[in-house]
Amino acid sequence: MNDKQEIEIKKNDIRNILLIIFVPLFLTFFIEHFGKFSYQSYGGQISEVTLSGGSFTTPFGSKIIIQGGQKAYNRHSDGTYKINGYYTDKLPYYFKGLGKDILYPAILIILLLGVYLLKNKYSIKIS
């Protein structure tokens, strides 16, 4: 009466399933880096110009609004100015883009999991 059934999961299967889940997410995050930033600002001296707004358009077509009020240009140690070019300034928008475009990696994850689970359950031989 106390017969318990065991479910055996191999370490290799866990590793493969984790890869199937995380690789599409990392791939989408990488693709987000090819999105385009557009800024809007008011005129003035370059050291005091602030952004009035802007947007980040992902390669998948999603649009993330950039809040205004931050400095448009950052001063470097050599005395030059660069328009919000630091990677750390752009990183939050890449994550927001990943959140908006989550449908694409989710579809890929479902397809890859389906193929993986069917491959393990059935053996296809062409003769």
Segment 70-90, tens digit of pLDDT = 666 666 666 666 666 678 878
With residue 111 as reference, give the H or E element that holds it: helix 103-121
- The residues with which 40 forms a beta bridge, in sequence order, are 53
Give the confidence band of 119 by pLDDT, cuts at 50, 70, 90.
Answer: confident
Residue 83, domain member (yes or no): yes
Residue 13, domain member (yes or no): no
Q: What is the pLDDT of residues 11-48, one digit of tens each?
A: 888 999 999 999 999 999 999 999 998 877 666 666 66
Residue 7, domain member (yes or no): no
SS3 category, 126: coil
- List the structure tokens of 80: 């030059």
pLDDT over 70 at 94, yes or no: yes
pLDDT over 80 at 2, yes or no: no
Domain limits for position 44: 39-112
Burial of 105 (0-12, 13-18, 19+ CB in 10 A): buried
Residue 117, domain member (yes or no): no
Residue 86, domain member (yes or no): yes
Looking at the structure of the chain, the number of domains it has is: 1
Residue 118, domain member (yes or no): no
**Distance from C-alpha of 75 to C-alpha of 81, rounded to nearest angstrom:** 5
Give, as one character, the DSSP assignment of residue 78. T
Residue 29, domain member (yes or no): no
Residue 90, domain member (yes or no): yes
Percent above pLDDT 70 for the chain: 72
